[in-house]
Structure 1
Amino acid sequence: MSSHHIVRDDQEPALIIANGASCSSELMGQLLEWSPLVIVLDSAIERVLPLGIKVDVLLGDFDNGLDIEYYKALQFPLEIVYAPDQEKTDLEKAFDYLVEKGHKAVNVIWATGRRADHTITNMTNIVRFQDKLKIVILDDHSKIFQLPKRYEKWYPKGFPISIIPVGTVHGITSTNLDYLLHDETLTMGYRTGSSNHAAQDGIVTIEHKEGDLLLMECFD
């Protein structure tokens, strides 16, 4: 796996590698190619090192006894960010770091799969940063991001789309989906918009009036 290219910090999204299920080398390579900054959570560093990736920031609470000096020498230059706050996940701390450094967007991999509680938390916590950081979570099967109040994008007929409310979301209206929504309400755990599809080749629009709504583009 080659190291990432050098680009302006405000030009392309940073990349965070968490500690869920790994993704394909193809997906990782695509994201690394233009990422200005690679952050690895401390729990994932032993899985990342054999891939030959140049890591810029190693972040976490380091409660697993890592030899920091070893990694600093191996990945020089490497910034070590000690983040001991037990009220936040390490992924949230990485988002905080990026906001503090002025980054506007980030892609996240290895944030889904393995433990289900981590997957759910990682997906839903992105809404807390909606005014600060554009966050996209990717794996080999899906791409997850928060929707603005009005969203539109061209999709081919039959493309799988899931609309996921975080809490309760009101006033949802959609076009060009198999299952249309007309000023309706979705609530996590009661009624969601999973496993929908683009009805025809063309623009899909999704609007909502109140609440936080995620979109999952599915690839299988």
Structure 2
Amino acid sequence: MSSHHIVRDDQEPALIIANGAACSSELMGQLLEWSPLVVVLDSAIERVLELSIKADVLLGDFDRGFDAEHYRNKQYPLEIVHTPDQDKTDLEKAFDYLIERKIPAANVIWATGRRADHTITNLTNIARYRDRLKIVILDDYSKVFLLPRKFEKWYTAGSVISLIPVGTVSGITTQNLKYPLDNESLTIGYRTGSSNEAEADGIVTIRHTYGDLLLMECHD
């Protein structure tokens, strides 16, 4: 796979490559084309090299004798960011790095699949970055992001839209969903809005007054 380097400014979303299940080459290529900055977590670097992807930043705690300088020679120029904090995941550290660089948005791949604990943590941790970083997690079947208090987007009829609360979310009201909500609450583990869908071609509107609500655009 060729280098992503079409030079753009830091207003474009960065791309973070984690170490979960791989995505298709088509999705990878689309994201690389529009990403001015590619951040690779240390656990994924060998997989990235096998695909001939050019990384800009290698980030992680570099434990277990990890030789970061070895990869600088293979990926020059490469910024190496050592993040030894064990109270955060490497993906959270990558988010923090982008915030420090004042990059407003990030697409994340290879963050789902493989281990269920990593998948759940990666998806729900989006909530803590509300108003600091716009995060989208993608794989071949889903696109996941945190909703603002009011969300509007055009969908075709039948588009699968799942609303997944992080904790409890209240005051949810929707328009143009097959299973509408009217000032209702969702709570993870008890009631979620999984596998809803757009009722008709047109704008879907979702409002909520309290809590963190994930939207998952899904397809089989």
Q: TM-score, normalised by structure 2?
A: 0.98
Give the C-alpha shift of residue 69 in structure 1.
Answer: 2.0
CA distance in 1 between partners of 2:172 and 2:114 (Å):
32
The answer to whether the 8 Å contact 1:124/1:166 transfers is yes
> Could you say what secondary structure the match of 1:65 adopts?
coil
Q: Residue 213 of structure 1 aligns to a residue in which SS? A: strand
Percent of paired sites with the same residue: 75
| Structure 1 residue 8, shift from structure 2 partner | 3.1
Distance 2:143 2:65 in 1: 33
Q: Is the contact made by 1:172 and 1:206 (CA closer than 8 Å) also made in structure 2?
A: yes
Looking at structure 1, the residues matched to 172 and 69 of structure 2 have their Cα atoms a distance apart, in angstroms, of 51
Equivalent residues in 2 for 1:31-180, closer than 5 Å: 31-180=31-180
Q: Which runs of 5+ in 2 are unaligned?
A: none
Alpha-carbon distance, 1:192 to partner: 0.4
1:150·1:208 contact (CA, 8 Å) conserved in 2? Answer: yes
CA shift at 1:23, angstroms? Answer: 0.1
Query: Shift of residue 130 of structure 1?
Result: 1.0
Contact 2:11 2:104 in 1 (8 A): no
For normalisation by structure 1, the TM-score amounts to 0.98
CA contact (8 A) 2:11 2:103 kept: no
Conserved 8 A contact 1:9-1:37: no
Q: Take 1:201 and 1:65, find their aligned partners in 2: how far apart are those partners?
A: 54
Runs of 4+ residues deviating >6 angstroms: none
1:5-24 CA-to-partner distances (Å, cap 9, x unmatched) read 33333331000000000000
Q: Deviations over 1:134-176 (max 9, x none)?
A: 0000000000000000101111111101001001001000011
CA distances 1:19-76 after superposition (whole Å, capped 9, x unpaired): 0000000000000001010000001111111100111000000113222222010000
Inter-CA distance 64–44: structure 2 relative to 1 (3 Å threshold): farther
Local SS of the residue matching 1:205: strand
SS class of match (1:174): strand
1:35 maps to a residue whose letter is S
| 1:214 is the counterpart of 2:200 | no
Q: Equivalents in 2 of 1:191, 1:167: separation in Å?
A: 11
What is the Cα deviation at residue 133 of structure 1? 0.5
1:39 and 1:5 map into 2 onto residues whose CA distance is: 13
**C-alpha RMSD over aligned residues:** 0.9
Q: Give the gaps of 5 or more residues in structure 1.
A: none
Q: Structure 1 residues 181-190 or 6-15, which shifts more?
A: 6-15
In 1, the alpha carbon distance for the partners of 2:152 and 2:68 equals 45
Contact 2:136 2:144 in 1 (8 A): yes
How many residues align structurally? Answer: 220
SS in 1 for 2:204: strand
